[in-house]
Structure 1
Amino acid sequence: MIHAVLIFNTTGKPRLIKFYDHYSTDLQQRIVDETFRIISARNNNQCHFVETNIFDRNGTQPKDLLLMYRQYATLYVAFCVDKAENELAILDLIQIFVEVMDRCFESVCELDLIFNLEKIHHILNEIIIGGLVIETNIDEIMEKFKHQMKLDKSSAENKTVKVAANMRKNLNFEGRLKELKKSMKLKIHKNGKHNKKQQE
Structure 2
Amino acid sequence: MIHFVLIVNRRCQTRFSRYYNDNEITKQKSGFELEIARKTVIRKPGQCLFFKHGKYTIVYRIYASLYFVVGCDEQENEFGILESIQAWVEAMDCYFEKVTELDLVFNLEKVHMIMDEIVLKGSLAETNQERVLAPIYALTDA
TM-score, with length taken from structure 1: 0.67
Matches of 1:145 and 1:89, distance apart in 2? 25
Unaligned runs of 5+ in 1: 54-63, 155-200
Please tell me the residue identity of whatever aligns with 1:14.
Answer: T
Percentage identity across paired residues of the two chains: 38
Q: Is the 8 A contact 1:5 1:79 kept in 2?
A: yes
CA drift of 1:144 comes to: 2.8
Please tell me the residue identity of whatever aligns with 1:118.
Answer: E
**Partner residue in 2 for 1:124:** 115
Please tell me the residue identity of whatever aligns with 1:9.
Answer: N
How many residue pairs were aligned?
141
Matches of 1:13 and 1:41, distance apart in 2? 14
**Partner residue in 2 for 1:168:** none
**Partner residue in 2 for 1:12:** 12
Name the CA shift for 1:88/1:25 in 2 (closer, same or farther; >3 Å): closer
**Partner residue in 1 for 2:48:** 47
2:29 matched to 1:28? yes
* 2:104 aligned to which of 108, 113, 127: 113
Q: Is the 8 A contact 1:126 1:145 kept in 2?
A: no
Task: Give matches, 1:1-200, under 5 Å.
Answer: 1-21=1-21, 22-23=23-24, 25-53=26-54, 64-150=55-141, 154=142
Please tell me the residue identity of whatever aligns with 1:143.
Answer: A
Name the CA shift for 1:91/1:24 in 2 (closer, same or farther; >3 Å): closer
Question: What is the alpha-carbon root mean square deviation over aligned residues?
Answer: 1.3
Of structures 1 and 2, the one scoring higher in RCO (CA 8 A, sep 6+) is 2
**Residues 18-38 of structure 1, C-alpha deviations (whole Å, 9 max, x = no match):** 111224644211220111111
Bigger share in strand = 2
Matches of 2:36 and 2:76, distance apart in 1? 18
